Structure 1
Amino acid sequence: MSNNVIETAAERRREVLAALSSATGTEDAVRTLSHLLSVSADEAREVLRAPLEAFAGGSASTKASSESAGGFALHPFRDSEEHRSLFHSRSSDASSATGGEWDESRTEQERREGLSRIESESAMWFVAVDTARDAHVGLVFGEQVDDGDVDVAIWIRPEERKRGYGLSSLKESRRELAAFFPGKNVIIRAPLAGK
């Protein structure tokens, strides 16, 4: 994404946030930002996908230092072997929403369907990362439901629990999802037991 777009959004952050708060959905937010910032629809979508701090006044260097200082970050879920393996770990965990009952076929089907929803912008999944160790410690699932609200589920690897990753995932994902799904309620429906 062009730094100029981010700089423009940062300079006009009050207008940007006001426009996003009154948007009726993602496409309306894209149109509004595109018009407001005089950028293409694709650039407007990139602004929406950026962390809130990126276009609300924080610089890239500030963001990098806050990540390393906190030792935690959320990265977008990708169609990669590493992320696939993490998703399969979650699906076989008896304490997860799956009850550990998904077989290989069901897990792959759910992963592919999730990637399709991400592509169509009706979902946003993240990998929770301990940046100090470069360790993938969990997953965050943000799914838009029929009424437009966004359901959030958080899963942390059993061996990584009780270290604050669940709470960190909750805080970071709320920021990310609020920017990606402007004007929608972000609802945590899954328990955060063992965070």
Structure 2
Amino acid sequence: MSSNVIEAAAGRRQEIFAAISSATGTDDAVKAVSHLLAVSADEAREVLRAPLESFVGATSEQPDASSPSSFALHPFRDSDEHNALYKARSTDASSATGGTWDESRTEQERREGLKRIDSESAMWFVAVDGARGTQVGLVFGEQVDDGDVDVAIWIHPEERKKGYGLLSLKESRRELAAFFPGKHVIVRAPMAGDK
């Protein structure tokens, strides 16, 4: 892929991240990126596969001064509050689950995720707007076979279009780079059936 496409995507990263975060699946994300950058579908897919570092710079990058200082990612815990948020995501038709998970499937996936967290092959976070004391979404960091880390973000439907997706990407990059040093952090558009 031409470095010009990555540079163009990096220059419009807020729009790119917003499109990825609100995409209903891979095809939707490809179309959105292709339209935003006026590139082919193949080039858009390459943008989606590029490491997050290609878009947000080195780890020494200073936080955006306009970002709410009260926004934070908290580790996902086996608690009633966090479990309720996970259940909300499992029934959201626009999430990677397609909204089709029943209570049994949701509980099974949650328990398997907690096992991966315990084995340090995954990190899950709850996105929190501290100023409002509100949990606004979830971030899933999963180490894949080649060692890279896939990142998926789900923002509660009532909290979308407020910048939480971009804030979650920025914060998760910092957190996951510390937890999985030397690994590429890759944002992938969700597909139905994913964790």
Per the shorter chain, which TM-score range?
A: 0.5 to 0.7
Q: Residue 138 of structure 1 corresponds to which residue in structure 2? A: 137
**Cα separation, 2, equivalents of 1:181 and 1:70:** 24
Please give the per-residue CA displacement for 1:101-125, whole angstroms capped at 9, x wherever unaligned.
0000000000000000000000000
Equivalent residue letter for 1:86: L
Q: Which residue of 2 aligns with 1:150?
A: 149
SS of match in other structure, 1:147: coil
Q: How far does residue 69 in structure 1 lie from its aligned partner after superposition?
A: 5.2
Question: 1:5: which partner in 2?
Answer: none
Q: In the aligned structure 1, how far is the partner of 2:70 from the partner of 2:91?
A: 27
- Runs of 4+ aligned structure 1 residues displaced above 3 Å come to none
Distance across 1 between alignment mates of 2:109 and 2:189: 18
Q: Tell me by how many angstroms 1:190 deviates.
A: 2.0
Amino acid at match of 1:176: E
| Matching residue of 1:180 | 179
1:169 paired with 2:168, answer: yes
- Structure 2 residue matching 1:70: 3-state secondary structure: coil
Kindly indicate whether residue 189 of structure 2 is the aligned counterpart of residue 190 of structure 1: yes
Give, in angstroms, the shift of residue 128 of structure 1. Answer: 0.1
Partner of 2:168, secondary structure, is: helix
Whole-angstrom distance in 2 between the partners of 1:77 and 1:125: 5
Alignment: residue pair count: 126
Whole-Å separation in 1 of the counterparts to 2:149 and 2:94: 23
Separation in structure 1 between the aligned mates of residue 126 and residue 68 of structure 2, nearest angstrom = 19
With normalisation by structure 1, the TM-score equals 0.62
Write the mapping of 1:33-182 to structure 2, written as runs, cut at 5 A: 70-182=69-181
Q: CA separation of 1:155/1:69 partners in 2, compared to 1, >3 Å: closer, same or farther?
A: closer
What is the distance in 1 between the residues matched to 2:68 and 2:109? 35
Partner Cα separation in structure 2 for residue 101 and residue 138 of structure 1 = 18
RMSD: 1.6
d(CA) in 1 for partners of 2:98 and 2:187?
19
Amino acid at match of 2:132: R
Q: What 5-or-longer segments of structure 1 have no aligned partner?
A: 1-55, 57-65
Aligned match of 2:48: none
Shift in Å at residue 70 of structure 1? 1.9
In 1: Cα distance, 2:68 partner to 2:141 partner: 26
**Would the alpha carbon gap of residues 176 and 71 (structure 1) be closer, same or farther in structure 2, given more than 3 Å must change?**
same
3-state SS of paired residue (1:111): helix
The structure carrying a bigger helix percent of its residues is 1
SS in 2 for 1:182: coil
Measured in 1, the distance between the counterparts of 2:93 and 2:68 equals 33
SS of structure 1 residue aligned to 2:146: coil
Larger Rg: 1
CA distance in 2, matches of 1:102, 1:135: 24
